[in-house]
A and B are shown apart, each in its own frame.
Chain A
């Protein structure tokens, strides 16, 4: 099969047509939403005016990236059970957000993660640290999405060669920048809602279709997947096909599992979504909606993964351009021909576009609010108009960086980059957030130790891991400078960050129990919390 022609049976004009329709509709919605964007609170937090259910759907939109849809379905199709392990980590992680973080965060902060972390600390250093880790996590996550966009779209739309892929990444980047600077948080939230609806509906249709082929008998579907895979088939059902080979790979899996379950509640673009609702109670409702939607979606991917294994076959999937990532599109073609393939291709593209927009607005808000307004212009009178202007310009810069990085990273391992973003979030952000919300003694030095310590440990271990050099599919081939045996650093860097946060705190004399009293009362009761803006 000719790689440049994309997936066999793909109708390029149809794919582009469906995708163009999505872009036109969402841009129209974004323009309408932008008419009520007047102030900073509109740009950053959509006026705190979305309802819980709306925000819950938008959270699902932000969270279910291409890695969730194409990555997990592909991993299940090829590795069977081991692919399923990802979705469980990604889902269970939401309980930490629900029980420990969402409501308290909504009550305490305004626009960014930095608001909460710096609440009772010395503002400048802690905000700078929070913005640094926000930018780091967003950057890795963005890179993964853009790299995926280049590869996927080239594959589905039949764009040829490096130049064509670069052009695709540029188009994705420009549309995304338009969403963010025109629509702000309100426009971006609507894009997430539309995308989540399309993605979940598309997956639901395919799931029912697959199950109908096997008389709605899950065991029958599993049996068909085993049979199709031939000799290797029996390995699809028990765990271990991907991670079970050696002691190191088993430990690597534990490390990955920790990063997944502890990373979600530290992802800045997820945390920022909690500010788009008026109260903590609505924040709780939005997480509940998100948990149901995300959970049901991951159940769909289980069926889609084994369905792709049974109907397409893992050999055909691995031979296709895009490898594992093409399992879901190939399954769509097998089921519903060119039309369903076109729809699913457009949904996959929309998924990437929306997640990239969510990341960009978060990174730009953190820079404008935490660094520009609260550090650079700290001693001048508050100027929200200038701050939003800075946020918009930052969005353009981040978009440009993402486009550049995306072009450079095309062809890199997407799942690796996403897991990296989770590991950084779990190491740098989550320990600091938990200490900050629940530990009275915690102070500035502790926060700086846990953020920078977690961030640096995590990134250094990744640089010297087999994922970057010396492994099976390293980022740099031909050189080998790795000394850390695991691909995912979570099992080391997360405990290190907790420990450093503790040490930094007890080594510093600073303590402010009055300010903690204010933070605790605010976080638990919502007294003095930011109210919704009505237009």
Chain B
């Protein structure tokens, strides 16, 4: 395997597509969950009264927000696994097999 071959794979249509699929999923998702987390942190930090508003019994908006952070983490995890299994693994497997077959 020479450096030239790595560049060739990197510039191939298949690899470009793999990178696009990965980045188009993980970058926006990362920005989204970080903003969502930051919103939660800032509300907890600067909007005590709002977060302290009771909704059901002693359960307040802050607690619900906090539990929603757990839910969103679990959901994003599952979404990513589905995306990776369906959209990423088949392409990366093909590139890897071509590489190892040809090496």
Q: Is there an interface contact between A223 and B19, defined as CB atoms closer than 8 Å? A: no
| Most B Cβ at <10 Å: residue of A95, A261, A292 | A95
Q: Mark A518-533, 1 if CB is under 8 A from B, else 0.
A: 1011001111100000
Q: Is there an interface contact between B52 and A238, defined as CB atoms closer than 8 Å? A: yes
A292 to B71, CA, bound (A): 11
Q: Identify which of residues 496-521 in chain A touch chain B, using a CB-to-CB cut-off of 8 Å.
A: 513-515, 517-518, 520-521
Contacts of A331 in B (CB 8 A): none
Q: Identify which of residues 97-112 in chain A touch chain B, using a CB-to-CB cut-off of 8 Å.
A: 98-100
A92 to B77, CA, bound (A): 10
A514 to B8, CA, bound (A): 10
Q: How many of chain A's residues touch chain B, expressed as a range? A: 35 or more
Q: Is there an interface contact between A521 and B63, defined as CB atoms closer than 8 Å? A: no
CB-contact partner of A95 in B33, B56, B96, under 8 A: B33
Contacts of A515 in B (CB 8 A): 3
Contacts of B60 in A (CB 8 A): 237-238
CB-contact partner of A521 in B15, B25, B33, B40, under 8 A: B15
Contacts of A288 in B (CB 8 A): 77, 81
A244 to B46, CA, bound (A): 8
Q: Is there an interface contact between A239 and B51, defined as CB atoms closer than 8 Å? A: yes
Tell me if A257 counts as interface (CB < 8 A to partner B).
yes
Q: Is there an interface contact between A219 and B56, defined as CB atoms closer than 8 Å? A: yes
Q: Which residue of B lies closest to A226 (CB)?
A: B58
Tell me if A240 counts as interface (CB < 8 A to partner B).
yes
Q: Is there an interface contact between A250 and B26, defined as CB atoms closer than 8 Å? A: no
Contacts of B76 in A (CB 8 A): 95, 99
Tell me if A85 counts as interface (CB < 8 A to partner B).
yes
Q: Is there an interface contact between A95 and B77, defined as CB atoms closer than 8 Å? A: yes
Q: Which residue of A lies closest to B34 (CB)?
A: A261
Contacts of B58 in A (CB 8 A): 219-220, 222-223, 226, 237
Q: Is there an interface contact between A250 and B70, defined as CB atoms closer than 8 Å? A: no
Nearest CB on A from B2, distance (A) = 9
Contacts of B57 in A (CB 8 A): 217, 219-220, 222-223
Q: Given A92-B69, A295-B74, A527-B100, A281 and B62 touching (CB < 8 A)?
A: no
Tell me if A284 counts as interface (CB < 8 A to partner B).
yes
Nearest CB on B from A64, distance (A) = 15
Tell me if A171 counts as interface (CB < 8 A to partner B).
no
Main secondary structure of the interface of B (DSSP, over half): helix
Nearest CB on A from B14, distance (A) = 10
A81 to B53, CA, bound (A): 13
Q: Is there an interface contact between A291 and B77, defined as CB atoms closer than 8 Å? A: yes
A298 to B95, CA, bound (A): 40
Contacts of A226 in B (CB 8 A): 58
Q: Which residue of A lies closest to B74 (CB)?
A: A295
Contacts of B19 in A (CB 8 A): 520, 524
Nearest CB on B from A304, distance (A) = 15
| Most A Cβ at <10 Å: residue of B15, B54, B77, B95 | B77
Q: Is there an interface contact between A240 and B48, defined as CB atoms closer than 8 Å? A: yes
Contacts of A250 in B (CB 8 A): 45-46
Tell me if A349 counts as interface (CB < 8 A to partner B).
no
Tell me if A253 counts as interface (CB < 8 A to partner B).
yes
Tell me if A254 counts as interface (CB < 8 A to partner B).
yes
Tell me if A218 counts as interface (CB < 8 A to partner B).
yes
Q: Is there an interface contact between A257 and B41, defined as CB atoms closer than 8 Å? A: yes
Nearest CB on B from A440, distance (A) = 10
Nearest CB on B from A298, distance (A) = 7
CB-contact partner of A237 in B52, B95, B99, B100, under 8 A: B52
Tell me if A367 counts as interface (CB < 8 A to partner B).
no
A-B pairs, top 6 by smallest CB distance, nearest first, are A238-B52, A219-B57, A222-B58, A518-B6, A517-B10, A239-B44
Q: List 12 A-B contacts (CB under 8 A).
A: A84-B63, A91-B70, A95-B77, A217-B57, A219-B57, A220-B57, A239-B44, A240-B48, A254-B42, A295-B70, A524-B19, A527-B100
